[in-house]
Amino acid sequence: MAEVRLNKYLAEAGVASRRKADELIRAGRVTVDGAVVKEVGQKVDPERQEIAVDGKPVRPAPKVYYLFYKPAGYLTALSDPHGRPTIASFLKRLPYRVFPVGRLDADTEGLLLLTNDGELANRLLHPRYGIKRLYEATVKGHPSPAAIKRLLEEGIEVEGRRVYPKAIRLKGKGPHTSTYEVVVGEGRKREVRKLFASIGHPVLKLKRLAFGPLALRGLRPGEIRPLSPKELRTLRKVLKV
């Protein structure tokens, strides 16, 4: 392990958030090789140095991976300055500190990967690996086949880039709504919502069903479960890690 900032190491080891780790350091509760450290920005080599908090050695947390069904109405964040509900309330039950890979907006529900493996998370989100996201979108009204074709062929501009959905398939129709399965590549901010809004059919409900080889099957809103060994092997194979 290369040198890392002490507060980052404490956070990744599950001791506390970086902000709380800074407080521990300033309070003189953290030692490196037996010496009290009070410099927040100090770098350490956990493989060669002994780091302790209140005299107890701090060991690196094992890499962990969980699937989480994020309910609608929660921010994909670990805290919010405005006091809005976040997914942090669901993560308290986990034995290790984790972070969400990517995000779903507050009104969107569905699959999130939770982990403390930064390298794997970066690969999942990097456009180079082309990890697809599958959504189920219920929209107002009944878009015409020509409008759907236009979305597929022309795409839309999101955050200064033109993006194209990989696939849009009609699942069913109600009296006043239509439901589609939509596959996107990078999953840019509110991309699926912007796609349908651009043709005059706003999204009423949005759920992420899959992220790469990982699927939501078997989870209910608010539930979390570890990846199975097979799921983790498949994910690593896709990402070449």
Q: Which long-range contacts (CB under 8 A, 24 or more apart) does 78-83 make?
A: 78/17
pLDDT digits over 104-146, tens only?
999 999 999 999 888 899 889 888 888 999 999 999 999 999 9
Distance CA 3, CA 35 (A): 18
Count Cβ atoms below 10 Å from residue 136 Cβ, excluding itself. 19
Q: Which long-range contacts (CB under 8 A, 24 or more apart) does 148-153 make?
A: 148/180, 148/199, 150/199, 151/195, 151/198, 151/199
pLDDT of 15? 83
pLDDT of 160? 86
pLDDT of 1? 57
Given the residues 33, 105, 107, 117, the one annotated as active site = 105
Measure the N-to-C terminal CA separation of the chain; round to a whole number of Å. Answer: 17
Active site residue 105: yes
Domains and CATH numbers, the chain: 4-57 (3.10.290.10), 65-127+214-239 (3.30.70.580), 132-211 (3.30.70.1560)
Q: What is the mean pLDDT of each successive set of 10 residues along the chain, which is 241 residues long?
A: 85 82 94 92 91 93 94 94 94 90 95 92 87 97 97 92 94 98 90 96 98 95 97 92 79
Residue of 70, 91, 88 lying closest to 207 (CA atoms)? 70
Predicted TM-score (pTM) of the model is: 0.83
Distance CA 27, CA 200 (A): 57
Quick one: how far is CA 139 from the chain centroid? 24
